[in-house]
Structure 1
Amino acid sequence: MNLRKVLIGTASIGLLALSLTACGGDSGGNSSVAKDCTPESEFKTMTAGVLTVAAPEFPPFSSNKDGKLSGVDADVIKEFAAKNCLDVKVESTSYAGTIPAVQSGRADVAIGCYYRTAIRAEIVDLSDPIYTDEMGLISKNGVNEIPKLESMKVGTVDGYLWVADMKKVMGANLTIYPSAVEMQADLKAGRIEVGIDGYGSAVEMYKADSTYKVVGAAPDPRVIASKEPAQIGFPVAKDKSDLTKALNASIASMKTDGKIVDVLESYGLPATAGDTGEPRLVQ
């Protein structure tokens, strides 16, 4: 699960499996878009009338199980497509292969909780922030204050933005795991008392286990990510600036009418994740 954190997306493209589905129809010429539909914005896509979306299997943000595209990012991109009179075609990818799919022209846009990082912005366009990936604390008692963690055994997953700061705060009381799976095993075995993961990932991983509570970390000046969580955007090829502008217009509209908050809450994420603040890049 930690692959998305600050992954730059420059891994080799490899073999990308192609899966064709449609939003409310199919991509084989039987579009469900009404003939009198008027698009919100003007831009070109790879295939006229179709938005091709690179989508890794990464719930609760992106999933294409049984040919049904779902997740936070998926629902937002489907709303964007509907506003612009487009059917959706999904290109299923590995997480590392998703941005290369956009760079190489296999897809118009990527979804999957991609951090808006300065390094990533050098290779692809990034839409304005859609939501934030908050620092989630997993425990039996719902502790959410970092000072209270200092006397406890705590674990986190390598690659997250808060790891360096938490090392300074926690010292030897912090264990860093290669993935959330190993951390979960130690949490359930009692070897650690609190786990730290991305809020959305934690909600998905512990949704069937009522023993544990997932809460957002209270802001602590020593841990930047607790005050300024990473912003999530849609990666787009550098030569598709009109598409990026269209995405930004749609994101702004969905923030104004509350659609993004509705989507977040429908997947168990907090409404506060929709309060992104001004666009910024993780350096």
Structure 2
Amino acid sequence: MKPRALLAGLALAALAVGTAGCAPAASGGASVPKGCKPADTFSTVAPGTLTVSLYSLPPFVAPTNDGGIEGVDADILESFAAKECLTITPAPVATAAVIPAVQGGRADVAAGAWWRSADRAKVVALTEPVYLDEMAVVSSEGLDELSQLRGKRVGTVDGYLWVKDAKAYLQDGLKVYKSANDMYQDLKVGRITIALDGYGDAPLHAPDRKVKVIKPDPAVAASLRPPQTCYPVSLENAKLLDALNTHISEMKGSGELKKILKKHGLPGSSADTGDAWLVK
């Protein structure tokens, strides 16, 4: 999986050449009950439905065979849509076309654990933080401290916020890969014994290993301040942005967001995002 911070530039390039083939699929969500009264008033790309641009990134979001979506973001957005008397219409596209679909008015919102970044905020509006994309240690022993990695063969994927700091700390003990697939192949055959990855992605690649959120360590800034995710919406749809922000706040306050995260194998602590900030 390519770290989502790297995709802003690709998204702008995709917008320039268009996003052919990104027509929304039929909605797989439940129908809206008669007499439903929406909690807020805002416009959508297509009346009566929330069009969601996405690419497959389990456990965060993925299209289903029946035309719906599943995952953390699916549960959150379906809850929002129900409150607003809307169905969900998935619009699966290539990764680099997800943000341009929102920017170009072909989708209302983007799903897929998108980081709140300064570059992204220039082209789309970003909701308040939803959950954290936490740094994790993948090992056989269940390691969770940076100091435990010294003297071991460690791998990570280029593009993550922790790469520079981790390289300075582990030096020759850290190998940086171009792709997660390459890293996990080396982990499988023993060329490395530990992987550093995002918590959500790791269990899918290494189900036979233990995955632990790394404990905060001043040597690696990303362990102290993990990237925050958001839902990108059009800069021109402030009312939708406000409604989503209200819903996110309510889900955090009720504890529902933590339940959703745990349901999909993520730590409930990821909902404790702290104050909003932007990756630069």
Is residue 15 of structure 2 the alignment partner of residue 10 of structure 1? no
* TM superposition shift of 1:75: 1.1
1:69-88 to 2 correspondence within 5 Å?
69-88=69-88
Deviations 1:49-103 (A, max 9, x none): 1111101111111110302310111111111101111011111111111000001
* TM superposition shift of 1:275: 0.5
Deviations 1:12-45 (A, max 9, x none): 14423334232534xxxxxx21222121221111
Aligned partners of 2:60 and 2:172: how far apart in 1? 33
Q: Give the aligned length.
A: 274
Q: SS at 1:47's partner residue?
A: coil
Unaligned runs of 5+ in 2: none
Deviations 1:125-163 (A, max 9, x none): 000111000001100001110011121110000100101
Q: Contact between 2:125 and 2:241, CA under 8 Å: does it hold in 1?
A: yes
Q: SS at 1:45's partner residue?
A: coil
Corresponding residue for residue 28 of structure 1: none
Corresponding residue for residue 39 of structure 1: 38
1:1-150 to 2 correspondence within 5 Å?
1-8=1-8, 9-12=11-14, 13-25=18-30, 32-66=31-65, 67-150=67-150
Q: SS at 1:6's partner residue?
A: helix
Corresponding residue for residue 279 of structure 1: 276
Of 224, 227, 234, 2:221 maps to 224
Q: Contact between 1:16 and 1:94, CA under 8 Å: does it hold in 2?
A: no
Moved more, 112-121 or 1-10: 1-10
Is residue 242 of structure 2 the alignment partner of residue 262 of structure 1? no
Aligned partners of 1:189 and 1:47: how far apart in 2? 49
Partner letter of residue 257 of structure 1?
S
1:200-211 to 2 correspondence within 5 Å?
200-206=200-206, 209-210=207-208
Q: SS at 1:195's partner residue?
A: strand
Is residue 230 of structure 2 the alignment partner of residue 233 of structure 1? yes
Aligned partners of 1:151 and 1:169: how far apart in 2? 11
Partner letter of residue 64 of structure 1?
P
Deviations 1:160-202 (A, max 9, x none): 0101111111111110001111101111111111101110011
Unaligned runs of 5+ in 1: 26-31
Q: Contact between 1:165 and 1:224, CA under 8 Å: does it hold in 2?
A: yes
Deviations 1:217-266 (A, max 9, x none): 00001111101110000011110111111100000011111111111111
Q: Contact between 1:6 and 1:117, CA under 8 Å: does it hold in 2?
A: no
1:247-258 to 2 correspondence within 5 Å?
247-258=244-255
Moved more, 41-50 or 161-170: 41-50
Partner letter of residue 22 of structure 2?
A
Q: Kindly, what percent of the aligned residue pairs are identical?
A: 42
Is residue 212 of structure 2 the alignment partner of residue 215 of structure 1? yes
Partner letter of residue 22 of structure 1?
S
Partner letter of residue 277 of structure 1?
G
Is residue 194 of structure 2 the alignment partner of residue 194 of structure 1? yes
Q: Contact between 2:3 and 2:160, CA under 8 Å: does it hold in 1?
A: no
Cα 1:242–1:273 shift into 2, 3 Å: same
Q: SS at 2:119's partner residue?
A: helix
